[in-house]
């Protein structure tokens, strides 16, 4: 999957095309690349014809068939949500995490368990500072809880992963969006061995922080905002007072263009994927994709950190329908823009286009 291209092609094919996801994978590996206003910027061309900056990027060439083989050792059986072993509903046990976390609190609970059990030494999370996320390496439950809650803007998570490697952390976990998980798998393909656990988040799209919060702060005093949630076609802003509802159509203008060419709603290449689609209030939907995830869930349940139950079949079908709808829309955008970054099997493409 390694392609002989470098910063020159990265700038032309991704950055100037408006496809940068701000994942942070290309930053720091080259002294001439940085993030400016939530986009990668190449300050000066290094002249190298083959670079990690290009090969790590989730919006450069992605061979889904090869990536499935790399991560799961087999071709996917489900065109909608990728490879998986089982799908559950789950929630954290105990009020400590529930009071801080989004929905069922499973992400925070699993991060805490993964550290306590020695599965990882630290987890890269998105920490909000003035509501704009930035990556941190959490090593304690207290640090995890400070980063709890869904962010609808982007944190350059892979910068945090690389910082962890530089600091000598041997076993790194990460909580990441679908594009960030893809970047992490591409890094592993080129020899990065420190990433031991990927917890993927469900994601339909992300917003530019500056524009999004500027708009939001005109409606609500930012000091009153406690939590954000998107449900039922609305952005629900939890405040010190009563919730404020904003129609999703009002904030669509701030969505990142790169999200329009993303086929992945459920972080298909993660070890375990977690979101709210399909679950009742106060619970999370959990997609267990491999043995790493099985062991994580089993251990957390035995420790009393989380509880799970089967997810109803009709809710699983709802999740798959939503994922397929996003895939179909994104394939249309990719073909309209004549982008060549994605390779998927003809069988999967046919299933996606004919499913709805």
108, part of any domain:
no
Residue 99 pLDDT: 64
pLDDT beyond 60 at 167: yes
The per-residue pLDDT for range 35-88, each reduced to its tens digit, is 888 889 998 888 787 889 999 999 998 989 999 999 999 988 899 999 999 999
267, part of any domain:
no
Confidence of residue 203 (pLDDT cuts 50, 70, 90): very high
Residue 127 pLDDT: 81
- Tell me how far CA of residue 334 lies from CA of 19, 22, 260, 345, in angstroms: 11, 19, 8, 15
Confidence of residue 351 (pLDDT cuts 50, 70, 90): low
289, part of any domain:
no
pLDDT beyond 60 at 32: yes
Question: Which of 1-5, 120-124, 311-315 is predicted with the least confidence, judged by mean pLDDT?
Answer: 1-5
**Average pLDDT estimate for 294-301:** 98
Tokens encoding 259: 């999200």
Residue 150 pLDDT: 64
237, part of any domain:
yes
250, part of any domain:
yes
Q: Give residue 240's domain range.
A: 209-254
Mean pLDDT score of the chain: 88
For the chain, the domain total comes to 1
- Measured distance CA(259)–CA(253) in Å, rounded: 12
Residue 342 pLDDT: 75
pLDDT beyond 80 at 231: no
Residue 189 pLDDT: 92
Question: Where residue 232 sits, what CATH number does that domain have?
Answer: 3.10.450.750
pLDDT beyond 60 at 242: yes
Residue 64, phi then psi, degrees to nearest 5: -60, -35
Confidence of residue 263 (pLDDT cuts 50, 70, 90): very high
Of the two residues 68 and 225, the one the predictor is more confident about is 68
166, part of any domain:
no
Residue 119 pLDDT: 97
Confidence of residue 131 (pLDDT cuts 50, 70, 90): low
Confidence of residue 130 (pLDDT cuts 50, 70, 90): low
244, part of any domain:
yes
% pLDDT > 70, the chain: 93
Residue 102 pLDDT: 65
Contact present, 124 and 174 (Cβ < 8 Å): yes
Residue 1 pLDDT: 64
243, part of any domain:
yes
**Average pLDDT estimate for 190-194:** 93
**Average pLDDT estimate for 111-124:** 97
Confidence of residue 355 (pLDDT cuts 50, 70, 90): low
**Average pLDDT estimate for 258-285:** 94
């Amino acid at each position: 999957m390694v392609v002989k291209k470098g910063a020159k092609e990265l700038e032309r094919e991704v950055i100037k095309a408006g496809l940068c996801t701000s994942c942070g994978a290309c930053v720091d590996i080259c002294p001439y690349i940085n993030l400016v206003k939530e986009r990668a910027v190449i300050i000066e061309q290094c002249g190298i014809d083959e670079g990690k900056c290009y090969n790590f990027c989730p919006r450069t060439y992605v061979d889904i068939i090869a990536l499935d083989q790399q991560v799961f050792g087999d071709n996917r059986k489900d065109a909608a949500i990728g490879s998986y072993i089982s799908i559950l509903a789950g929630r954290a046990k105990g009020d400590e995490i529930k009071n801080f976390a989004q929905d069922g609190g499973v992400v925070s609970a699993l991060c805490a368990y993964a550290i306590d059990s020695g599965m990882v030494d630290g987890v890269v999370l998105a920490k909000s500072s003035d509501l704009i996320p930035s990556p941190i390496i959490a090593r304690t439950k207290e640090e995890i809880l400070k980063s709890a809650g869904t962010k609808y803007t982007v944190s350059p998570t892979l910068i945090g992963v690389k910082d962890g490697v530089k600091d000598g952390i041997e076993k790194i976990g990460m909580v990441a969006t679908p594009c960030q998980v893809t970047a992490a798998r591409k890094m592993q393909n080129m020899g990065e061995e420190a990433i031991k656990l990927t917890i993927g988040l469900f994601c339909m799209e992300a917003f530019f922080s500056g524009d999004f919060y500027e708009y939001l702060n005109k409606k609500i005093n930012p000091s009153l905002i406690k939590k954000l949630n998107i449900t039922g076609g609305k952005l629900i802003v939890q405040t010190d007072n009563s919730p404020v509802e904003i129609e999703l159509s009002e904030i669509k203008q701030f969505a990142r263009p790169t999200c329009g060419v993303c086929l992945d709603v459920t972080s298909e290449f993660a070890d375990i994927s977690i979101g709210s689609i399909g679950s009742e209030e106060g619970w999370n939907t959990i997609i267990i994709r491999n043995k790493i995830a099985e062991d994580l869930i089993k251990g957390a349940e035995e420790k009393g950190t989380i509880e799970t139950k089967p997810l109803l079949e009709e809710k699983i079908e709802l999740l798959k329908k939503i994922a397929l709808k996003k895939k179909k829309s994104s394939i249309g955008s990719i073909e309209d823009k004549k982008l060549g970054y994605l390779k998927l099997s003809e069988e999967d493409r046919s299933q996606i286009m004919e499913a709805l």
